[in-house]
Structure 1
Amino acid sequence: MKKNVLITGTSTGVGFESAILFAKNNYKVYATMRNLKKGVELEKRIAEENLDIEILPLDVTKITSIESALKTIIDKDGRIDILYNNAGAGFAKTTEQSTEDEIRWVTDVNYLGVVFCTQAVLPYMRKQKSGQIITITSVGGLVGQPFNELYCGAKFAVEGFMEGLATYVSDAFNIKISCVEPGGISTEFMTSAIGKTAVEGQFATGEYLPIFERYMAGNQKRANESKDQVYQTGLEVANVVLEVAQNENPPLRIRTSKWAEEFCNLKTQADPDGSKIVQQLKDSFL
């Protein structure tokens, strides 16, 4: 019997590539997106390649939308095997100059959306005594970066949430938890980070502007010097996620490239895959 997988944020980038890749590897894919009008390209690929993919509306910031999509899956299949939390959005702007709406938005999309989707699937996975929750986080969930502190804060929160969850649902209910941590990705995610945060053409003003200009110049220099090492395609990241899904004993944490591994080394060298800290927490509290 095919395992089914619910993937959030599949209109472009990693989510789009993942939906196709999982379908080609014998999964029943429920590809979800906030705006179904953005599903044209995916619909085209489904028809061309006869893929077992069903597109559903799902806005990760709205609990009713999450519950509706999940009800469709349960009504059809009677179970949910994999939740793949992919939906997210970049944000680069100073904390001081960010609006209340922007701060709530970056938190809702990148953190609370993951929490609410996870909360929705847990009762079903608990009852069936099996399941897997895979979440795209970021190297920014391990290492804070200039002008990305609000985004990194949300991703740090996801990492802590999943680490805590893994300490008790894995053994008790056979629910496997994994965080997949990419570095730079050459997808619309990068474009959205700029488009969403640019205000009158700027991310920073006043005394912050010269610091931001140095930051942007450094980014451009690194990109020019080592683009192949820093930036991955959506498909390259999707392949890592597929490997995690197919792993009988998946890691809590996994970076998706050599660059990402090196970037996070100071934070991860003592416990690269997160298994040691999870065991320590179990020994301490359970």
Structure 2
Amino acid sequence: MGKVILITGASTGLGVSLAVQAARAGHKVYASMRNLDKRAGLDAAVTQAGVSVACLQLDVQDDASVAAAVAQIIATEGRIDVLINNAGAGYVRSTEQAEMADVQWVLDVNFTGVVRCTKAALPHMRAARCGHVINIGSVGGLVGQPFNEIYCAAKFAVEGYTEALASYVTPHFGINFTVVEPGGIQTEFANSVLKQVNETGGMLEDEYLPILQSYIGGSQARGDTAYQTADEVAEVVLRCMEAETPPIRARTSDWAEDLCRIKTQADPDGRKLQAKVMQDFLGL
């Protein structure tokens, strides 16, 4: 039986790949985005794949928008089996250079948006005693990286949020939680980083400039070694969704595994730590 899946941030990149692959696997997909005027990429991919996907408006920064989208799906389907919190945005800036308005935006899109959507879907999953919330995190949620401290802080928050929910909601209500940690997605990183830097004031002529140039150059040089296609990452997400016992966390490539190994080697999928927390705090 196909699942009812809500995907956020489905206008481009990974969101499009997730929608297409989930629909191709026989699931009922609701692909959402903040601005429906930007649905052309999704429509083209869906048409090319020969699948059917429902598209709806959902702005992860707007409580009312999130509530309305979830209510629409519940009214139509009666349930949401899987929520994939995919919407997110990168931010490359040193703390000294970052404008506080930008800091709040990064945290709101990447972390608070995850909370908003989960909060809206969770009561319906709890009533059904089943469901799966999959948060698209990053290796930046496990490993702090140069000029990414604000973005990494948001993704670290997603890690803690996912772990905490899994420690008590999963054993009591049968709802699974997973954070998927890509190392990067091809065709998006360099261009999006440079665009974002330019949109927030460009490369500032200060002592950080040569370090930033080194960082961007190194990221571009890693190329295919570090970055995957959106389709490859989507395949990992779907495997997590279809697993009988889903992982708490999952990297999506050998490069990502290698980068995070020092932190993850004792408990790669997070289930040992989940069991310890459940035992120590809840006696389960």
Aligned to 2:73: 73
1:9: which partner in 2? 9
Residue correspondence of structure 1 range 17-96 to structure 2 within 5 A: 17-96=17-96
**Which residues in structure 2 correspond to 1:164-243 (within 5 Å)?**
164-188=164-188, 190-198=190-198, 199-202=200-203, 204-221=204-221, 223=222, 227-243=223-239
Asked if the contact 2:132/2:241 (under 8 Å) is kept, the reply is yes
Alpha-carbon distance change, 97 to 48 in structure 1, aligned in 2, over 3 angstroms? closer
- Conserved 8 A contact 1:229-1:258: no
- Residue 189 of structure 1: CA displacement? 5.6
1:122 counterpart residue number: 122
- Secondary structure of the 1:179 match is strand
**Maintained 8 Å contact 1:11/1:39:** yes
- Report the residue type matching 1:201 in the other structure: G
Q: Distance in 2 between matches of 1:6 and 1:161?
A: 19
Alpha-carbon distance, 1:206 to partner: 1.3
Residues paired across the two proteins, number: 281
Q: Give, in angstroms, the shift of residue 50 of structure 1.
A: 4.3
Give the direction of change, closer, same or farther, for the CA distance of 1:218–1:41 in structure 2 (3 Å limit).
Answer: closer
CA separation of 1:190 and 1:249: change in aligned 2, threshold 3 A: farther
Q: Aligned AA for 1:191?
A: N
> Which string of whole-angstrom CA distances, capped at 9 and with x for unpartnered residues, describes residues 227-259 of structure 1?
332110000000000101110101001100000
Quote the Cα distance in structure 2 between the aligned partners of 1:11 and 1:250: 26
Which whole-Å CA distance do the structure 1 matches of 2:56 and 2:85 have between them? Answer: 15
Q: Is the 8 A contact 2:7 2:85 kept in 1?
A: yes
**Residues of 2 paired with 1:170 and 1:255: CA distance?**
21
Aligned-pair CA distance for 1:145: 0.4
Give the drift of 1:48.
4.9
> Contact 1:140/1:152 (CA < 8 Å) preserved in 2?
yes
Is the alpha carbon distance of 1:170 and 1:82 closer, same or farther for their aligned partners in structure 2, counting shifts above 3 Å? same
**Cα offset, 1:51, TM superposition:** 1.9
- Which structure 1 segments of 5+ residues have no match? none
Map 1:243-262 to 2 at 5 A: 243-262=239-258
DSSP-derived class of the 2:44 partner: helix
Letter of the structure 1 residue corresponding to residue 170 of structure 2? S
Q: Contact conserved, 1:57 with 1:65, CA < 8 A, in 2?
A: yes
Where in structure 1 do 4 or more consecutive aligned residues deviate above 6 Å?
none
Letter in 2 for 1:233: T
For the 8 Å contact 1:2–1:27, the answer to whether it is kept is: yes
**In structure 2, distance between residues paired with 1:190 and 1:85:** 23
Distance in 2 between residues matched to 1:190 and 1:115, nearest whole Å: 28
Amino acid at match of 2:259: F
- In structure 2, what residue type is equivalent to 1:99? E
Taking the aligned partners of 1:185 and 1:26, their CA distance within structure 2 comes to 25
Show the counterpart of 1:267: 263
Q: With the length of structure 2 as denominator, give the TM-score of the two structures.
A: 0.95
Which TM-score applies when normalising by structure 1?
0.94
Q: Can you list the C-alpha shifts for 1:11-68, whole angstroms capped at 9, x where unaligned? A: 1111101100000000000000111111113223434544231000111011111111
Give me the whole-angstrom Cα distance separating, in 1, the residues matched to 2:68 and 2:189. Answer: 26
Aligned to 1:143: 143
- Show CA shifts across 1:131-185 (max 9, x none): 0001110000000001000000000000000100100111111101101000021
Alignment equivalent of 1:281, drawn from 258, 277, 283: 277
Q: Distance in 1 between matches of 2:80 and 2:138?
A: 25
When residues 278 and 44 of structure 1 are mapped into structure 2, their CA distance, relative to the original with a 3 A threshold, is same
* Alpha-carbon distance, 1:212 to partner: 1.8
Contact 1:162/1:178 (8 A) holds in 2? yes
What per-residue deviation string (whole Å, max 9, x for no partner) do you get for residues 100-149 of structure 1? 11000110110000011111111000001000001110000000001000
C-alpha contact (below 8 Å) 2:16/2:41 kept by paired residues = no
Q: Tell me the distance in 2 between the aligned counterparts of 1:220 and 1:194.
A: 11
CA distance in 1, matches of 2:53, 2:217: 42
SS in 2 for 1:184: coil
In structure 2, distance between residues paired with 1:253 and 1:62: 27
Instruction: Tell me, yes or no, if the aligned pair for 2:7 and 2:15 is still in contact at 8 Å.
Output: yes
- Kindly tell me: are residues 72 and 190 of structure 1, through their superposed partners in 2, closer, same or farther at Cα, counting changes over 3 Å? farther
**Cα distance in 2 for residues equivalent to 1:86 and 1:189:** 16
Match of 1:153 in 2: 153
